[in-house]
């Protein structure tokens, strides 16, 4: 099974900060990775698909990069509505796996 | 409007069974693989299972393999998750997302509580 190691597990940041979250796959997954945002009590919402493609309707301050085993989600200028938990999801194998999540909190 | 509505959750005793349903509308259900994803209270997202478009191929996370069965009825536009031998650690909100290409559609989820 492919394991996804996401870091950090949490971070504190201020409005306007640049934020970077990383996911590492236990084996190569090409670009078969998405990034999700989840707010309390709500279903997840995809931000990025195919590692670097922006989901329709998602602000351009979100971006994704990487291929193979190392992937990054970047928020270029954190906004108040971005405080949430973020997950990566690999779909390269028959068994999909989420990262453990990164909670982005207000500093 | 593309919509997914999960139902069938509730309180069940350890060792018991429950069948979840997911009613799909607004898209050609029979064309897409479907998934179940769960989230225990205060915990992260966990992928549970997936089924291909005609129901002939399925996959399961190790934590549910042998206990859960995913199935679908394309004539009824409905996805199912039969859950047997339930454990306390199966307590979670269960979602049936459509995750394919540009599609990223989630329902509101249905809560399953396993407790005596």
Any A CB within 8 A of B2 CB? no
Q: Check A46 against B104: CB less than 8 A apart.
A: yes
d(CA A30, CA A68): 4
Any A CB within 8 A of B99 CB? yes
Any A CB within 8 A of B104 CB? yes
Query: Which range (A93-97, B14-18, B52-56) has the least confidence?
Result: A93-97
- Pairwise pLDDT comparison (A107 vs B36), residue with the higher score: B36
Of the candidates A1, A55, A87, the beta carbon closest to that of B45 is on A87
- How confident is the model at residue B29, as a pLDDT? 96
Contacts of A35 (CB under 8 A, 6+ apart): A21, A46, A47, A48, A62, A64, A73, A86, A87, A88, A89
Q: Check A43 against B50: CB less than 8 A apart.
A: no
Any A CB within 8 A of B58 CB? no
d(CA A20, CA A63): 10
- How confident is the model at residue B22, as a pLDDT? 98
Q: Check B59 against A91: CB less than 8 A apart.
A: no
d(CA B31, CA A85): 31
Intra-chain end-to-end CA distance of chain A, in Å: 36
Q: Check B106 against A36: CB less than 8 A apart.
A: no
pLDDT tens by residue, A48-92: 999 999 999 999 999 999 999 999 999 999 999 999 999 999 999
Is pLDDT of B102 > 90?
no
* Placement of tokens 């099974």 in the chain: A1
CA–CA min distance B83, chain A (Å): 18
d(CA A54, CA B90): 33
Is pLDDT of B103 > 90?
no
Q: What is the mean pLDDT of residues B57-70?
A: 97
Contacts of A72 (CB under 8 A, 6+ apart): A20, A21, A22, A23, A64, A65, A66
Share of chain B above pLDDT 70, in %: 100
Any A CB within 8 A of B77 CB? no
- With bands split at pLDDT 50, 70 and 90, how would you rate the model's confidence at B100? confident
- How confident is the model at residue B109, as a pLDDT? 97
- How confident is the model at residue B101, as a pLDDT? 82
pLDDT tens by residue, A6-54: 999 999 999 999 999 999 999 999 999 999 999 999 999 999 999 999 9
Instruction: Answer for the pair A65, A71: CB distance below 8 angstroms, yes or no.
Output: yes
pLDDT tens by residue, B10-43: 999 999 999 999 999 999 999 999 999 999 999 9
């Amino acid at each position: 099974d492919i394991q996804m190691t996401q870091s950090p597990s949490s971070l504190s940041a201020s409005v306007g900060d640049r934020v970077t979250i990383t996911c590492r796959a236990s084996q190569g997954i090409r670009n078969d990775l998405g990034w999700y945002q989840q707010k309390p009590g709500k279903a997840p919402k995809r931000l990025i698909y195919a590692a670097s493609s922006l989901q329709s309707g998602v602000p351009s301050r979100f971006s994704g990069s990487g291929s193979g085993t190392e992937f990054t989600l970047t928020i270029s200028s954190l906004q108040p509505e971005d405080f949430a938990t973020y997950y990566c999801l690999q779909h390269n194998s028959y068994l999909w796996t989420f990262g453990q999540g990164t909670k982005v909190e207000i500093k | 409007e593309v919509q997914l509505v999960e139902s069938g959750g509730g309180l069940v005793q350890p060792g018991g069974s429950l069948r979840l349903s997911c009613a799909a509308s607004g898209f050609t259900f029979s064309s897409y693989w479907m998934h179940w994803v769960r989230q225990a209270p205060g915990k992260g997202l966990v992928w549970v299972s997936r089924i291909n478009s005609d129901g002939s191929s399925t996959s399961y996370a190790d934590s549910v393999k042998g206990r859960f069965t995913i199935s679908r009825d394309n004539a009824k536009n409905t996805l199912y998750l039969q859950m047997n031998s339930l454990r306390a650690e199966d307590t979670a909100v269960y979602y049936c997302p459509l995750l394919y290409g540009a599609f990223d559609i989630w329902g509101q989820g249905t809560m399953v509580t396993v407790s005596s």
